Amino acid sequence: MKTIIQMSEAEEAKALPLLLRHSPGTVLPNRIYVISAEAAKKLREAGVQFTELSRESTAPHLGWRAFPVVRPYQDR
């Protein structure tokens, strides 16, 4: 199962070593990553803070489930 996350620049610096070890994920613009559920779990365990933007559904034929995100992380 895949998860789409977004994180701050500081959190990204902490997360990169873990992501390189645990996930063959995809990097998108604005520090958005498509990673495995296991990689997201490892990031949480390491104390990395991120916003979960979407998660792949486990139900057959439903595909991606979008969560209502009021305001995803943005640099100021």
- What are the pLDDT digits (tens) for 22-72? 767 888 899 999 998 889 999 999 999 999 998 876 666 555 555 554 445
* Band of pLDDT at residue 76, cut at 50, 70 and 90: very low
Looking at the chain, which runs of residues are DSSP E strands? 2-6, 26-28, 32-36, 51-56, 64-66
- Domains of the chain, CATH where assigned: 2-66 (3.30.70)
Closest CA to 8 of 37, 67, 50: 50
Please give the structure tokens belonging to residue 10: 């500081």
Please give the structure tokens belonging to residue 2: 């895949």
| pTM listed for this prediction | 0.72
Cβ count within 10 A of residue 24:
9
- Return the amino acid letter for 28: L
